[in-house]
Amino acid sequence: MTIDSLLQPFQRFGVNLGLERIKNLLEILGNPQDKIPIIHVTGTNGKGSVCAYLSSILSTAGYKVGRYISPHLIAWTERISINGENIETATLENLLKYIQSLIDPQQESPTQFEVITAAAWLYFAQEKVDIAVMEVGLGGRLDATNVCAQPLVTVITSISREHWQNLGHTVADIAGEKAGILKANCPAVIGQLPESAQGVVRERIKLLNCPTVWVEAAEKIADNRAKYQGLEYPLSLAGDFQLTNSAIAIAVVNILRQQGWQISDEVVQEGMAKTRWLGRLQTVNWCQREILIDGAHNPAAAMGLRQYVDSLKAPKIIWVMGILSTKDHREIFQALLRKGDSLYLVPVPDHSSANPETLAELAASICPELSHLETCSDVFLGLKKAIQESADSRIILCGSLYLVGYFLGSLFQGK
């Protein structure tokens, strides 16, 4: 059986936040989460980059580092890795079969996310990792990763309005959910938050007596170099928002040092230089053209992408975009589209995609001065038309991590 077929029976339970099912499942598995020191990371944007930085730095320091992320771009095995190596397909299949065999059909079924999260906990415990960097899937308070009473450090990278269908309609509501990963007396590292979110998080920190570092962005000292708290280091990930993400990672490292973890400045610099993060401001070659790809699946991420694109000073910008039906289409378009840009809208395969024709009407109303607006039946047709339109343009594929993953998967398969 494949990983997809093993996880498919749990897909019908969808997003169903809560801790009772995952705690019951982990108890059956011997509570592997209690055997692993963890760094717990949440945030609307930036959490993947922070996890990538931390994993790279800690493995460079000689530690055996588990990392759990979501979603994956191409394969389920991306979600669970040790020292940058994804779990083997056969290993994950065997873990899932074992977990499935222990689930009581008379009890409420765990969700798909809870099952894959349990597999990560079990794998890391079996492999005796020194530390695990655990990325929250959705929110924080009721997320399946939120089952450890004493994390080494908890991190909130950023907070903006996303997943309001599950987390609450206001930024303050969402902040309350994300602050749910904070634990009594456990150190916290917090990124730059809007005022309404900051108040909620500060209240939670005070209640729990969390020693807290509030992180300001690092200083940019060259195109690919930054400085934070006196330490100069290379930035291997693109975009000015990495000044904050990298500073958050270093703030976490400084707390780990205080706890006795051996991580030199030289290791931090080397780990930063080696960090990679697939599908985020990544340039790939396709049909003899450079394509910039980025998820940019919410307004805050879209603003970061537009800022980066503007820094490139390209003579023309061509967007190839697909967006999920659940996203804030208007604010994403407002962040990205400018007079003279071209836009090709495509569906997101195998997911609840927004209708490209409906998106086209919205885009035309928001930015009527687009130089070209067209819908295409799939991403490859959209990219081909973008390439044909202009030889000196900057082509960007964005709008959904699932769309980016679909493109990269096809690219790696030679399509």
Together in a domain, 235 and 313: no
Together in a domain, 37 and 139: yes
Together in a domain, 384 and 245: no
**Count of domains for the chain:** 2
Residue 372 burial (C-beta neighbours within 10 Å; 0-12, 13-18, 19+) = middle
Q: What is the pLDDT of residues 286-345, one digit of tens each?
A: 999 999 999 998 998 999 999 999 999 999 999 999 999 989 999 999 999 999 999 999
Q: What is the pLDDT of residues 263-295, one digit of tens each?
A: 999 999 999 999 999 888 999 999 999 999 999
Domain boundary among 249, 274, 299: 274
Residue 258 neighbours by CB under 8 Å, 6+ apart: none
Q: What does the pLDDT average to over 167-186?
A: 89
Take residue 9 and report the two structure tokens written for it.
């029976």
Q: What is the pLDDT of residues 41-85, one digit of tens each?
A: 999 999 999 999 999 999 999 999 999 999 999 999 999 999 999
Domain boundary among 274, 293, 313: 274
Q: By percentage, how much of the chain surpasses pLDDT 70?
A: 96
Whether 342 and 316 have beta carbons less than 8 Å apart is answered as: yes
Going by pLDDT thresholds of 50, 70 and 90, the confidence category of residue 13 is: low
Together in a domain, 266 and 304: no
The region of weakest confidence among 9-18, 249-258, 367-376 is: 9-18
CATH number of domain containing 92: 3.40.1190.10
Residues of the domain holding 323: 282-414
pLDDT at position 163, please? 47
Together in a domain, 158 and 206: yes
Together in a domain, 162 and 295: no
